[in-house]
Structure 1
Amino acid sequence: MSVQTLCQICESAPAEYQCTRCGALVCAAHYDKETGLCTDCATAIRDSPPDR
């Protein structure tokens, strides 16, 4: 018997990916394959002011 890790965002779907920024284990719905980030990190980066 194997234990499946659940997505750390929705806590209902199986985790398939790991965010490269925060390390969260997330499901496909909460992972941005283009950036390698979970949706929480992708939103935080998108909403942060640009560096000067």
Structure 2
Amino acid sequence: VLLLLDNCSSHKIEGLNLLNVDVHFLPLNTTSKIQPIDSRIIMSSKNIIINIII
């Protein structure tokens, strides 16, 4: 599993032993550039899940 995090100060990974998880941080000041893409992915995923359930 690849976990991508922004550089928010609350994202602390020190002391975590995550098996089968690679944690990578996005470069500084990129969150605002990728949020519109993220919202479209979430909306598409939500629609797929709703269609499966209904």
- Which one scores higher on RCO, CA 8 angstroms, separation ≥ 6? 2
**Greater fraction of residues in helix:** 2
Greater CA radius of gyration, 1 or 2?
Answer: 2
Q: TM-score range by the shorter chain?
A: under 0.3
